[in-house]
Chain A
Amino acid sequence: MSITLDSQVPVAAPVSAPVKGYWQAVFSRLRRDPVALIAGLILLIILAMAIFAPWLAPQSPYSTSMLNRLKPIGTEGFPLGTDELGRDMLSRLIYGARLSLLIGVMPVVNAFVIGSAIGIVAGFVGGRTNTVIMRIIDVFYAFPAVLLAIALAGALGAGLVNSLFSLTVVFIPPIARVAESVTTQVRNYDYIEAARASGARSLTIIRRHVLGNVLGPIFVYSTSLISVSMILASGLSFLGLGARPPMPEWGLMLNTMRDAIYVNPWVSVLPGVMIFSVSICCNMLSDGLRSAMDVK
């Protein structure tokens, strides 16, 4: 039996493999998880609400009317009632989704990119570099999240951009820590050494073999932070450090409506209900993702 290993062989039929990509596999598993599916669906609806707000909202979220202040749920023309300035609650909730989702998701996305970069480098390089980077991260991690966010936003001054920035800073340490610990684990696996033994450079190893194995856990952890971010962002707005009135933002709405809680409790808690449902859906979805992304 003679076998030649000739690189010049004509490429016969392309390898017709029923390749089922990684993400395809994840998605098909996710589809069989009813809880994650419903959570995802609700999030999609809220996202669509935010995107199509101008078409969906029955009225302008800014138009006030002194005559229609604090109407209860089910009033003619105001299906979810009105707030303390007579603005339509339904419209404000729909428009509020835009800002609230933005300040809920943006810091996590930013922190995901920056934090995993920091963590992966620290974990892969190891040694003294790791110690220096991670101890600096620990300094930030030592502060309670809320306190750090308030302190930063307070020091930088109230405003949307500043609150986005301060929340990003708050979320970098936990993500970097998760990234670092997963990378340290992956770095010692045989397939990293095998990749090195077959002549791959460090950058290739990080980009293909480390990133591919590390991103899943970090991603799942980050999605669970979205709910925390929403709540913190709402908290900042509540304290007057984030969104400014009259912007429709759920946290801020909760703040301004709190005086009316004895007059019209059901309308007052509506922004809170929205924050709660988005948070819990994010958690459910990230739970589902965690099990779906575990290939083995």
Chain B
Amino acid sequence: MNQTAEIVAPQQDQPLVQVSGLEVRFKSPDRTVHAVNGVDLTLKRGEILTILGESGSGKSVTLRTLMRLLPERRTQLKGQVSVDGRDVLAMPQRELRRFRGRTAAMIFQEPMLAFDPVFTIGQQIAETVCRHEGVSHKEGLARALELFELVRIPSARRRLANYPHELSGGMSQRAMIALALSCRPRLLLADEPTTALDATVQIQILLLLRELQRELDMSVIFVTHDMGVANEISDRIAVMYGGRIVETGKVGEIIAQPRHPYTLGLMNSRASGELKGQRLEAIPGSPPDLATLPSGCAFAPRCPYAIDTCHDSVPIAHTIEGQHWAACHRLEQTQP
């Protein structure tokens, strides 16, 4: 416990999340999966960052590393992860349990599956509150009721007594958010929270999340593969491919002036009004197998601008303007 005392008190101007050189490998007897290969990330207080990428790009793994949720025995972690001034990777189990839920909380993709089916929603929220704040079960339930009103669940009192399967998808995602907010976390991690919902509910949840983020002054890391969602909610976007961040910048910069060929490809493959009747442009090829990653740029095999250098060496980040940077050898090709 001495270690924790020595840590400097977190300052307001210090970023809430600082990740540098993060590498994650999953080991199994017959192969090693290189899920994350050197990710650097900072998140300011009160900021919403979206990690954008297709399946298998390492975005969810990065998110889980922030709470050290990956199976410890099979996972190899390298690099630095600090949240709120504390080193997450070096935390002892006890502190880690206090950290989870209290400093950082998580919202899951399938809200229906993220609740235990044999307890009522109210019980589950109360349980979390009781554990972290040492209050009685009754006070925990009272807090749960408050939270339900906060996330705008109609007839909150009755809903608390419901079992998870009795709620609709949107309702249970609201309940999930309530659970995540139950101990006033500073950092909210959202793992594709709107993917399982239909479009009208999706926008409601996004608006709710943005509103809550402002009211409670949280930082949010939002993981999604949906450009529209990323555009809607975030301050900043980080695009991930093959376990690396390939481009990051403010929302406007990424949407208006994408510079990395992969981001460009993503933008071009969006469906928009003018394109009616035409074929959508797709990125040729398929994402890399993370067990046998190419030695150079992971996107090179699919990239229209790729040259020999791309296949040989991993590109470093080039600043484009302010916080906007991209990791590519051929940035001059994508100049607007």
* Chain A residues with a Cβ under 8 A of chain B: 1-3, 5, 7, 9, 11-12, 14-19, 22, 127, 189-191, 193-201, 204, 208-209, 212-213, 295-296
Contacts and interface: CB of A to CB of B under 8 A. Distances in A.
Contacts of B114: 190-191, 193-194
Contacts of B143: 5, 7, 9
Interface stretch (B8-16, B130-138, B285-293, B321-329): B130-138
Contact of B142 (A12, A190, A197, A212): A12
A19 B120 CA distance: 9
A153 B163 CA distance: 47
A295 B184 contact: no
B146 A9 contact: yes
Nearest to B119: A212
Interface residues of B, number: 55
Interface string B99-127: 11110011011100111111110100001
Contacts of B110: 190
B150 interface: yes
Contact of B139 (A11, A201, A212): A11
Q: Which 6 residue pairs across A and B have the least CB separation, nearest first?
A: A17-B161, A199-B101, A198-B101, A199-B100, A190-B113, A212-B118
Given A200-B97, A295-B165, A15 B160 contact: yes
A295 B116 CA distance: 12
B208 to A, nearest CB: 12
Interface of B: 67, 69, 73, 93, 97-102, 105-106, 108-110, 113-120, 122, 127-129, 131-133, 135, 138-139, 141-147, 150, 157-158, 160-161, 163, 165, 179-184, 215-216
Contacts of A17: 120, 122, 157-158, 160-161
A289 to B, nearest CB: 15
A296 B69 CA distance: 29
Contacts of B183: 198
B274 to A, nearest CB: 39
B120 A191 contact: no
A7 B179 CA distance: 15
Given A190-B108, A194-B106, A15 B165 contact: no
A14 B138 contact: yes
Nearest to B73: A127
Given A199-B101, A208-B127, A295 B117 contact: yes
Contact of A199 (B109, B118, B132): B132
Contact of A189 (B113, B150, B161): B113
